[in-house]
Amino acid sequence: MKSENITYSQQYINCSRKELLEAVSQVMSPKRFIHVKGVEQAALELAEQYGADREKVSIAALLHDYAKEQLDEEMRDIIISENMDLELLQYGNNIWHGPVGAILIRNRFEVTDTEILDAVRHHTVGAPHMGLIEQIIYIADYIEPNRDFKGITEARTLAKSSLKEAIAFATLKTLKYLLEKNVKIYPRAIETYNAWVVQK
Ligand SMILES: [Fe+2]
Ligand SMILES: [Fe+2]
């Protein structure tokens, strides 16, 4: 089933899919909007294969990068006012846009479903325990059709046979990349690694 054929029940979000697309396109560059639609497409394919709720997956995919182009200053304020882990302040947008995005979409679109919120919250560095929708968004973000990097074919093949294997692959590859760049690693990324790569 094509994404255009999904009708939102208004059970999880206060608008239609068309209105959501419009709202999302207004907070990001055209390039990122193409990425977001690619994530929805990849996520819906995974939802079909692994039996996840298509409406929730569509909403989570379209909203996963909602905070990506927010100003750092506004994001810092949200981290503080929402009593998030203050260690976050030592990192940046790459980590923040997941947890801050979850707050923004709750406020703007009245999303309260924990599976959708957790999928948005955790898509940046994963989490030791991820439910099906979180897993789908984490992997769809990595393999969506516009992605092109060394290993993408293997990641796409793995996602077709095992979400868990695909998560292990993506997590290991991302961590290796960060270590080679000598950047600071957010501790939960290590927890995700321990849970999904070491203990798979
Ligand atoms: Fe993201
Ligand atoms: Fe993304």
Query: What is the fold of 15-149?
Result: Hypothetical protein af1432 (1.10.3210)
**Ligand 1 centre distance from Cα of residue 71 (Å):** 15
The string of pLDDT tens digits covering residues 158-199 is 999 999 999 999 999 999 999 999 999 999 999 999 999 998
Residue with tokens 């950047």: 183
pLDDT of residue 199: 81
Query: Residue 200 above 70 pLDDT?
Result: no
Query: Residue 3 above 80 pLDDT?
Result: no
Measured at the alpha carbon of residue 155, what is the angle toward residues 151 and 158, in degrees to the nearest 5?
140
**Closest by Cα among 13, 7, 8 to 111:** 13
**Ligand 1 centre distance from Cα of residue 95 (Å):** 8
The string of pLDDT tens digits covering residues 37-93 is 999 999 999 999 999 999 999 999 999 999 999 999 999 999 999 999 999 999 999
**Ligand 1 centre distance from Cα of residue 124 (Å):** 6
**Ligand 2 centre distance from Cα of residue 63 (Å):** 9
**Ligand 1 centre distance from Cα of residue 109 (Å):** 18
Tokens representing 188?
Answer: 């939960």
Integer Cα distance of 21 and 19 in angstroms: 5
Nearest-10 crossing angle of helices 163-180, 152-161: 150
Looking at all shown ligands, the one closest to residue 142's CA atom is 2
Looking at all shown ligands, the one closest to residue 101's CA atom is 1
CB 24 within 8 A of CB 62: yes
**Ligand 1 centre distance from Cα of residue 148 (Å):** 16
**Ligand 2 centre distance from Cα of residue 73 (Å):** 21
**Ligand 1 centre distance from Cα of residue 166 (Å):** 17
The string of pLDDT tens digits covering residues 145-165 is 999 999 999 999 999 999 999
Integer Cα distance of 130 and 10 in angstroms: 25
Integer Cα distance of 97 and 57 in angstroms: 18
The string of pLDDT tens digits covering residues 37-51 is 999 999 999 999 999
The string of pLDDT tens digits covering residues 99-130 is 999 999 999 999 999 999 999 999 999 999 99
